[in-house]
Amino acid sequence: MSQATGNVSSDQIVKNYHWFTFQSDIIEVFVGANPKPFRVHREQICAKSPFFKKCLENNMGEALTKVVNLPEDEPIAFVGVLSWVYHEEIPRLRAIRDIKFWVQFYLPADKFCMERLANKIMDEVKSWHENNYPQLFLLSDIPAVPLKQFLIDQLAWELRCNSIWDNAIMAKDLIEFFSKGGDIVVEVLTKSVDMRTKEASDPSRGPDCTYHKHLDSLKCSLQIDGGPRDKGSQSEFKKSLKPQLHV
Protein backbone atom coordinates (compact mmCIF):
# COMPACT_ATOMS: atom_id res chain seq x y z
CA MET A 1 0.00 0.00 0.00
CA SER A 2 1.41 3.38 -0.94
CA GLN A 3 2.08 6.03 1.67
CA ALA A 4 -0.37 8.36 -0.05
CA THR A 5 -3.17 5.86 0.25
CA GLY A 6 -2.20 5.15 3.84
CA ASN A 7 -2.97 8.77 4.71
CA VAL A 8 -6.38 8.87 3.03
CA SER A 9 -9.30 8.96 5.48
CA SER A 10 -12.75 7.61 4.66
CA ASP A 11 -14.22 11.04 3.91
CA GLN A 12 -11.52 11.68 1.29
CA ILE A 13 -11.58 8.42 -0.63
CA VAL A 14 -14.34 9.49 -3.02
CA LYS A 15 -12.66 12.82 -3.75
CA ASN A 16 -9.26 11.25 -4.31
CA TYR A 17 -10.42 8.29 -6.34
CA HIS A 18 -9.06 8.41 -9.90
CA TRP A 19 -11.60 7.32 -12.51
CA PHE A 20 -10.31 5.23 -15.35
CA THR A 21 -10.62 5.63 -19.10
CA PHE A 22 -13.13 2.99 -20.04
CA GLN A 23 -12.67 1.54 -23.51
CA SER A 24 -14.59 -1.71 -23.78
CA ASP A 25 -16.39 -4.48 -21.87
CA ILE A 26 -17.87 -2.15 -19.28
CA ILE A 27 -20.58 -3.02 -16.80
CA GLU A 28 -22.72 -0.65 -14.77
CA VAL A 29 -23.12 -1.23 -11.04
CA PHE A 30 -25.88 0.65 -9.21
CA VAL A 31 -25.15 0.87 -5.50
CA GLY A 32 -27.31 2.01 -2.60
CA ALA A 33 -30.96 2.64 -1.76
CA ASN A 34 -30.74 5.78 -3.90
CA PRO A 35 -28.68 4.10 -6.63
CA LYS A 36 -25.35 5.64 -7.51
CA PRO A 37 -23.96 4.36 -10.83
CA PHE A 38 -20.41 3.04 -11.23
CA ARG A 39 -18.82 1.96 -14.50
CA VAL A 40 -16.36 -0.91 -14.08
CA HIS A 41 -14.27 -3.14 -16.32
CA ARG A 42 -15.94 -6.55 -16.21
CA GLU A 43 -12.72 -8.52 -16.58
CA GLN A 44 -11.03 -6.59 -13.78
CA ILE A 45 -13.77 -6.99 -11.20
CA CYS A 46 -14.42 -10.64 -12.11
CA ALA A 47 -10.73 -11.39 -11.55
CA LYS A 48 -10.96 -10.08 -7.98
CA SER A 49 -14.47 -11.14 -6.99
CA PRO A 50 -16.02 -14.64 -7.33
CA PHE A 51 -19.39 -12.98 -6.64
CA PHE A 52 -19.15 -10.78 -9.74
CA LYS A 53 -17.61 -13.60 -11.74
CA LYS A 54 -20.65 -15.77 -11.04
CA CYS A 55 -23.04 -12.93 -11.89
CA LEU A 56 -21.34 -11.91 -15.12
CA GLU A 57 -19.92 -15.11 -16.59
CA ASN A 58 -22.67 -17.72 -16.14
CA ASN A 59 -25.44 -16.54 -18.47
CA MET A 60 -27.29 -14.87 -15.62
CA GLY A 61 -29.42 -11.79 -16.22
CA GLU A 62 -26.57 -9.48 -15.21
CA ALA A 63 -24.31 -11.05 -17.85
CA LEU A 64 -26.81 -10.21 -20.58
CA THR A 65 -27.71 -6.70 -19.44
CA LYS A 66 -24.23 -5.80 -18.11
CA VAL A 67 -25.99 -4.23 -15.13
CA VAL A 68 -25.62 -5.24 -11.46
CA ASN A 69 -27.89 -3.77 -8.77
CA LEU A 70 -26.65 -3.61 -5.18
CA PRO A 71 -29.36 -1.71 -3.24
CA GLU A 72 -28.20 -3.03 0.15
CA ASP A 73 -24.62 -1.72 -0.12
CA GLU A 74 -23.16 1.73 0.51
CA PRO A 75 -21.67 3.74 -2.40
CA ILE A 76 -18.76 4.97 -0.26
CA ALA A 77 -17.86 1.37 0.56
CA PHE A 78 -18.05 0.36 -3.10
CA VAL A 79 -15.56 3.10 -3.94
CA GLY A 80 -13.23 1.40 -1.47
CA VAL A 81 -13.86 -1.93 -3.19
CA LEU A 82 -12.96 -0.41 -6.56
CA SER A 83 -9.77 1.06 -5.11
CA TRP A 84 -8.80 -2.50 -4.19
CA VAL A 85 -9.95 -3.94 -7.53
CA TYR A 86 -7.78 -1.56 -9.54
CA HIS A 87 -4.89 -0.74 -7.18
CA GLU A 88 -4.99 -3.27 -4.29
CA GLU A 89 -4.92 -0.33 -1.90
CA ILE A 90 -7.08 0.55 1.08
CA PRO A 91 -7.12 3.64 3.33
CA ARG A 92 -5.97 3.57 6.94
CA LEU A 93 -8.33 3.65 9.90
CA ARG A 94 -7.58 6.94 11.66
CA ALA A 95 -10.45 8.15 13.82
CA ILE A 96 -13.68 7.04 15.47
CA ARG A 97 -15.69 8.61 12.65
CA ASP A 98 -14.04 6.09 10.31
CA ILE A 99 -15.36 3.06 12.20
CA LYS A 100 -18.75 2.99 10.50
CA PHE A 101 -17.06 3.27 7.11
CA TRP A 102 -14.87 0.25 7.87
CA VAL A 103 -17.88 -1.86 8.78
CA GLN A 104 -19.60 -0.71 5.57
CA PHE A 105 -16.35 -1.51 3.71
CA TYR A 106 -15.96 -4.99 5.24
CA LEU A 107 -19.50 -6.19 4.51
CA PRO A 108 -19.34 -5.92 0.69
CA ALA A 109 -15.80 -7.34 0.70
CA ASP A 110 -17.20 -10.37 2.51
CA LYS A 111 -20.34 -10.48 0.36
CA PHE A 112 -18.31 -10.32 -2.85
CA CYS A 113 -16.08 -13.20 -1.59
CA MET A 114 -12.98 -10.97 -1.72
CA GLU A 115 -11.10 -12.74 1.06
CA ARG A 116 -7.81 -10.89 0.83
CA LEU A 117 -9.56 -7.52 1.01
CA ALA A 118 -11.83 -8.57 3.89
CA ASN A 119 -8.83 -9.92 5.82
CA LYS A 120 -6.85 -6.69 5.35
CA ILE A 121 -9.83 -4.64 6.57
CA MET A 122 -10.08 -6.96 9.56
CA ASP A 123 -6.41 -6.32 10.36
CA GLU A 124 -6.98 -2.54 10.27
CA VAL A 125 -9.98 -2.80 12.60
CA LYS A 126 -8.06 -5.01 15.04
CA SER A 127 -5.10 -2.64 15.05
CA TRP A 128 -7.35 0.34 15.81
CA HIS A 129 -8.85 -1.46 18.79
CA GLU A 130 -5.46 -1.90 20.42
CA ASN A 131 -5.89 1.64 21.79
CA ASN A 132 -9.63 2.27 21.46
CA TYR A 133 -12.83 0.88 22.95
CA PRO A 134 -15.40 -0.89 20.73
CA GLN A 135 -18.20 1.30 19.42
CA LEU A 136 -21.38 -0.38 20.61
CA PHE A 137 -23.63 0.99 17.86
CA LEU A 138 -21.77 -1.20 15.38
CA LEU A 139 -23.11 -4.43 16.85
CA SER A 140 -26.78 -3.90 16.09
CA ASP A 141 -26.93 -4.33 12.32
CA ILE A 142 -23.93 -6.50 11.46
CA PRO A 143 -24.67 -10.03 10.19
CA ALA A 144 -22.78 -13.06 11.48
CA VAL A 145 -19.36 -12.37 9.94
CA PRO A 146 -15.86 -12.58 11.50
CA LEU A 147 -15.83 -8.80 12.06
CA LYS A 148 -18.89 -9.02 14.31
CA GLN A 149 -17.34 -11.87 16.29
CA PHE A 150 -14.22 -9.78 16.83
CA LEU A 151 -16.27 -6.82 18.13
CA ILE A 152 -18.15 -9.12 20.51
CA ASP A 153 -14.91 -10.67 21.76
CA GLN A 154 -13.24 -7.28 22.14
CA LEU A 155 -16.13 -5.84 24.15
CA ALA A 156 -16.17 -8.97 26.33
CA TRP A 157 -12.44 -8.50 26.94
CA GLU A 158 -12.86 -4.84 27.92
CA LEU A 159 -15.63 -5.82 30.36
CA ARG A 160 -13.39 -8.52 31.81
CA CYS A 161 -10.68 -5.92 32.44
CA ASN A 162 -13.20 -3.46 33.97
CA SER A 163 -11.31 -0.36 32.77
CA ILE A 164 -14.03 0.40 30.23
CA TRP A 165 -16.28 1.57 33.09
CA ASP A 166 -13.77 4.32 33.92
CA ASN A 167 -14.66 6.06 30.67
CA ALA A 168 -17.81 8.10 31.37
CA ILE A 169 -19.01 8.08 27.77
CA MET A 170 -18.48 4.34 27.38
CA ALA A 171 -20.14 3.65 30.73
CA LYS A 172 -23.25 5.53 29.59
CA ASP A 173 -23.26 3.66 26.26
CA LEU A 174 -22.85 0.33 28.05
CA ILE A 175 -25.83 0.97 30.33
CA GLU A 176 -27.95 1.75 27.28
CA PHE A 177 -26.58 -1.29 25.44
CA PHE A 178 -27.34 -3.70 28.30
CA SER A 179 -30.78 -2.20 28.93
CA LYS A 180 -31.90 -3.31 25.44
CA GLY A 181 -31.20 -6.96 26.24
CA GLY A 182 -31.37 -9.57 23.52
CA ASP A 183 -29.12 -12.34 22.24
CA ILE A 184 -26.17 -10.03 21.55
CA VAL A 185 -26.06 -8.87 25.19
CA VAL A 186 -26.24 -12.47 26.43
CA GLU A 187 -23.40 -13.45 24.07
CA VAL A 188 -21.17 -10.58 25.22
CA LEU A 189 -21.74 -11.28 28.93
CA THR A 190 -21.29 -15.04 28.49
CA LYS A 191 -18.05 -14.46 26.61
CA SER A 192 -16.79 -12.05 29.28
CA VAL A 193 -17.50 -14.52 32.09
CA ASP A 194 -15.79 -17.24 30.08
CA MET A 195 -12.72 -15.02 29.70
CA ARG A 196 -12.59 -14.57 33.48
CA THR A 197 -12.64 -18.29 34.19
CA LYS A 198 -10.20 -19.31 31.45
CA GLU A 199 -6.87 -18.06 30.25
CA ALA A 200 -7.63 -15.27 27.77
CA SER A 201 -5.87 -12.45 25.97
CA ASP A 202 -6.76 -9.17 24.29
CA PRO A 203 -8.37 -10.11 20.91
CA SER A 204 -6.97 -6.97 19.26
CA ARG A 205 -3.42 -8.12 20.07
CA GLY A 206 -3.91 -11.80 19.31
CA PRO A 207 -2.75 -13.82 16.27
CA ASP A 208 -3.40 -11.93 13.03
CA CYS A 209 -5.29 -14.81 11.45
CA THR A 210 -7.87 -15.44 14.19
CA TYR A 211 -10.67 -13.52 12.45
CA HIS A 212 -9.64 -14.17 8.86
CA LYS A 213 -11.39 -16.24 6.22
CA HIS A 214 -9.26 -18.56 4.09
CA LEU A 215 -11.57 -20.58 1.89
CA ASP A 216 -9.68 -19.64 -1.28
CA SER A 217 -6.80 -17.36 -0.30
CA LEU A 218 -3.44 -18.51 1.08
CA LYS A 219 -3.46 -19.00 4.85
CA CYS A 220 -1.30 -16.76 7.02
CA SER A 221 0.53 -19.71 8.63
CA LEU A 222 0.92 -18.07 12.04
CA GLN A 223 2.36 -19.87 15.04
CA ILE A 224 -0.28 -21.38 17.32
CA ASP A 225 0.70 -19.20 20.31
CA GLY A 226 0.52 -15.99 18.28
CA GLY A 227 4.23 -15.33 18.73
CA PRO A 228 6.60 -13.97 16.11
CA ARG A 229 6.49 -15.77 12.79
CA ASP A 230 9.51 -17.77 11.79
CA LYS A 231 11.25 -16.86 8.55
CA GLY A 232 9.37 -19.48 6.57
CA SER A 233 5.99 -18.30 7.84
CA GLN A 234 6.90 -14.67 7.21
CA SER A 235 7.79 -15.48 3.64
CA GLU A 236 4.53 -17.35 3.02
CA PHE A 237 2.50 -14.59 4.66
CA LYS A 238 4.11 -11.88 2.53
CA LYS A 239 3.45 -13.90 -0.61
CA SER A 240 -0.23 -14.04 0.33
CA LEU A 241 -0.37 -10.23 0.28
CA LYS A 242 1.26 -9.80 -3.12
CA PRO A 243 -1.03 -8.78 -5.99
CA GLN A 244 -2.58 -11.75 -7.75
CA LEU A 245 -4.54 -11.87 -10.98
CA HIS A 246 -7.24 -14.06 -9.46
CA VAL A 247 -8.44 -14.37 -5.88
For the chain, the distance separating the N- and C-terminal CA atoms, rounded to the nearest angstrom, is: 18
Superfamily of domain 1-114: Potassium Channel Kv1.1; Chain A (3.30.710.10)
Round to whole Å and give the CA distance between 47 and 89. 16
Q: Are 167 and 133 in contact (CB under 8 A)?
A: yes
Phi, psi angles (nearest 5°) of residue 41: -70, 125
Q: How confident is the model at residue 221 (pLDDT cuts 50, 70, 90)?
A: low
Q: What is the CA radius of gyration of the chain?
A: 20
pLDDT at 149 over 70: yes
In this predicted structure, what is the pLDDT of residue 164?
86
In this predicted structure, what is the pLDDT of residue 128?
87
In this predicted structure, what is the pLDDT of residue 96?
63
Cross-sheet strand order for the sheet of 67-70:
36-41, 26-31, 67-70
Phi, psi angles (nearest 5°) of residue 69: -105, 130
Round to whole Å and give the CA distance between 103 and 148. 9
Q: Kindly report the pTM of this predicted structure.
A: 0.75
Q: Are 71 and 32 in contact (CB under 8 A)?
A: yes
**Which of 6-10, 85-89, 128-132 is predicted least confidently?**
6-10
Round to whole Å and give the CA distance between 193 and 182. 17
| Long-range interactions of 140-143: CB distance < 8 A, separation 24+ | 140/184, 142/103, 142/107, 143/107
pLDDT, tens digit, 9 for 90 and up, residues 199-217:
888 999 887 788 998 876 6
pLDDT at 38 over 90: yes
- Where do the structural domains in the chain lie, given as residue ranges? 1-114
pLDDT at 116 over 50: yes
